[in-house]
Structure 1
């Protein structure tokens, strides 16, 4: 996960720059009014809104086609969100004064406020796992959903045409067509709600990106950051001033960024359907992950309840193995497999008699041969759970040796699964630093020397080196989690 963590840090820095740069510019313009000059160029506004509408329409069409094909209500809602943003942008740009219409239309400004508020609501809704009954209703009536949204856009046109009075400016509109409360709602309430909803969607996509790291997810996060800053600009900026123009530019590039994310995702060889379904797979994955974790915890608890001398052993081995995997730059998916395999590496001891597990003296040769069979038995137990299949190699091979003198299969060198090689180091380290009735616990320093001596014979040399590099981090983790600490640490 070291590569994944470094990659995530770089990506986070990029997101920080994407969000803070326009926000800083916006705040400077709002604070230094002499720089926030007025530029009333209706034609430029019309072109910019046309670009926003085109990009939004393209995204709505792409996602809508996917929604029709895969019949996924979450993708349907995402399509409706883009459709809302695009449709209201059409109205916003279409009635730009002195371009296609020759009269000011104060109601035009409300269309972007309402349009993006609706789009943000649909975007957040797409992230929820709706009840099955509601899903069925929406999917059966998906055409009705588009018709209703289109009707709202037509209604927005009607509102704009109802307010053509050339004497009314932006502020005058609220003053003449509503109470101060309505004015406050229009100027701050709806944009604030939109920003809040976009922030919820932003948080969810960041969490999903941390796990899957899909280009489309990363692009959506970047696009949402631009849209959030844009909404701040919309609420705080006087019409036609530079800060107001910045809002339109940010919305435009927010859509461009998301569209580029679609292209990047397709560049990975995935289909449109797979790309958008992957966006929402994380929620399902998390549910499955929780159910798998329940199974894992139950298995570990069963093992450790029968062998009191291994209390916390599986968790410590998993922690150390994962740190080693991070240092070796394993992918997030490979790290997940390593983490779970390390947790389950001793599950085969479920089949070992209590008399052997609890024996206070050294084991006889026959007893030791029974213990040596626990990797194979562990694989047999886990093989019955298809979801745990990726962990089988690590569980079966964690007692193999680099020189081929391990068990149960006598594998040598690179033929030993990587997870097994990593768990082997972590397992031996924790076993030696934990006391047994027949021997005291060794210190971390003594055990580190033993691991170093075993590099090239018992252990993969690269893994032994990675182990030494992460040992200080492991010690710090134990200090923060004293319930995991072995005797070598507590003593």
Structure 2
């Protein structure tokens, strides 16, 4: 094996892409908590500031931010029939409505001191509803429940509005009931509030992690904003749990909530002013289709190289786009994690980038290539590899580019690797590449049918192709996935396999 091949196979762990984002997440959570516990530990830094009026206006600002986000998300979720986004909408709506009650029940502002239970309970319930809805939107509902709800989203939102309205009426109209709840020093409050905190920590950590992965895949602003909001909500609830009312540290939980909701609103406004439609902004939060996330998040360098390929040869551009989509489907069938799928898609998009260095006379020759011309073609994996290794951050993609013409039996090029010596992503792309090449018209032959192409691929399994990747391709098609291809590829405008 050549030194270049050894270096390429080493690659970078997929998790490294997450490290900068994890560091920012740790700072977003760690700095607020450090400030909270520093103030709590030093009483001389933590004076009491009892201002019902200021409390009302701070909480009202938070409620308005949450409700504004909920209204925008509701419009998009119903129009798009998106269940996950509807769950997020309920979360924002719940935080806004319950915190509005929390503000209206501020003792000494509009009401008297009999509303302490309402105020305290509303603070905890707002965090609870926000955490559960963010967590459910990250996990998703069971398929049957999601399918049933998809056609009844207006009912879900109407029910949420009714429930939160009933909560407000009960909390403000019957405050004595809330005085007996296990919060604010009532019997059982420690067990109740600490249990609630533990559950919310798990849900918000899940939501923040899912948002981080979505952001890395799609490079969209909204998943990052939701992840930040989840972390601020977590910091807020911890602060609420460990501080005394009206102290400076206690005030911080309100500001952490405002920061969280403000981050989301800022992202929406920034993206909208940048020319992105409101529907697209919110749908970026809940991509269930990994392929859609990958398409959204392709690196600018990948797109630039793909554009260069398109300017040179329209067939090459369409070919690598289809190969990328097929490769992601195979990778999903093999259970690759989402971050690895993104590297796979980018490697597939770039697998023929070395052909930029090959003469047009050879690339577009309508007749069979001479042995000398075929030797020129065989240089493109190594040429593409050298190009990518000069670009920072494409080490894993370089694996695909260099080794997508290695054969499972070791008779491929450029390094003669065999079996599992060939990086998995390159073995996947080899299957997708062969299928697309067979089912596309070429100057020297018409396209094969899907059935003919699959028969050839089955024949090559174990010699040219990895049998596990071939089986995963068959499973991916067997799941009924619909692949939409550019109309210029005659004979394969649309393929539905069953």
TM-score normalised by L of structure 2: 0.58
Q: Aligned runs of 1:300-315 on 2, under 5 Å?
A: none
How far does residue 236 in structure 1 lie from its aligned partner after superposition? 0.9
Measure the CA separation in 2 of the matches of 1:346 and 1:340. 10
Q: CA RMSD in A?
A: 4.2
How far does residue 220 in structure 1 lie from its aligned partner after superposition? 1.9
Give the match for residue 116 of structure 1.
127
Q: Cα deviation per residue 1:319-373 (whole Å; 9 max; x = unaligned)?
A: 998897365136x7xx776554444234699999xxxx9xxxxxxxxxxxxxxxx
Matched, 1:26 2:26: no
Q: Which runs of 5+ in 2 are unaligned?
A: 1-10, 295-324, 336-379, 417-428, 441-498
Q: Would the alpha carbon gap of residues 209 and 336 (structure 1) be closer, same or farther in structure 2, given more than 3 Å must change?
A: farther
Give the match for residue 80 of structure 1.
90
Give the match for residue 293 of structure 1.
331
Give the match for residue 26 of structure 2.
16
Measure the CA separation in 1 of the matches of 2:24 and 2:381. 32
Q: Would the alpha carbon gap of residues 197 and 321 (structure 1) be closer, same or farther in structure 2, given more than 3 Å must change?
A: farther
Q: Would the alpha carbon gap of residues 10 and 376 (structure 1) be closer, same or farther in structure 2, given more than 3 Å must change?
A: closer
Match of 2:64 among 54, 59, 65: 54
Q: Which runs of 5+ in 1 are unaligned?
A: 298-316, 358-374, 387-491
The 8 Å contact of residues 60 and 82 in structure 1, kept in 2 or not, is answered as: yes
Matched, 1:68 2:78: yes
Q: Aligned runs of 1:436-451 on 2, under 5 Å?
A: none
Match of 1:197 among 185, 203, 219: 203
SS in 2 for 1:159: helix
Measure the CA separation in 2 of the matches of 1:45 and 1:199. 28
Give the match for residue 49 of structure 2.
39
Matched, 1:344 2:355: no
Q: Cα deviation per residue 1:177-216 (whole Å; 9 max; x = unaligned)?
A: xx42xx2243312122222211110111112222222122
Q: Aligned runs of 1:307-326 on 2, under 5 Å?
A: 325=388
SS in 2 for 1:130: coil
Matched, 1:159 2:193: no
The 8 Å contact of residues 105 and 119 in structure 2, kept in 1 or not, is answered as: yes
* Count of residue pairs the alignment pairs up: 337
Give the match for residue 224 of structure 1.
230
Q: Would the alpha carbon gap of residues 283 and 228 (structure 1) be closer, same or farther in structure 2, given more than 3 Å must change?
A: farther
The 8 Å contact of residues 108 and 160 in structure 1, kept in 2 or not, is answered as: no
Q: Would the alpha carbon gap of residues 56 and 26 (structure 1) be closer, same or farther in structure 2, given more than 3 Å must change?
A: same
SS in 2 for 1:281: coil
Give the match for residue 341 of structure 2.
none
Measure the CA separation in 1 of the matches of 2:402 and 2:388. 11
Matched, 1:239 2:250: no
The 8 Å contact of residues 215 and 264 in structure 1, kept in 2 or not, is answered as: no
TM-score normalised by L of structure 1: 0.59
SS in 2 for 1:279: coil
Give the match for residue 308 of structure 2.
none
The 8 Å contact of residues 80 and 146 in structure 1, kept in 2 or not, is answered as: yes
Q: Aligned runs of 1:141-156 on 2, under 5 Å?
A: 141-156=152-167
Matched, 1:215 2:221: yes
Give the match for residue 278 of structure 1.
284
Give the match for residue 463 of structure 1.
none
Measure the CA separation in 2 of the matches of 1:47 and 1:119. 21
Q: Would the alpha carbon gap of residues 318 and 184 (structure 1) be closer, same or farther in structure 2, given more than 3 Å must change?
A: farther
Give the match for residue 100 of structure 1.
110
SS in 1 for 2:139: coil
Q: Cα deviation per residue 1:135-171 (whole Å; 9 max; x = unaligned)?
A: 23223332332233233323433135433599x7999
Give the match for residue 383 of structure 1.
437
The 8 Å contact of residues 384 and 401 in structure 2, kept in 1 or not, is answered as: no
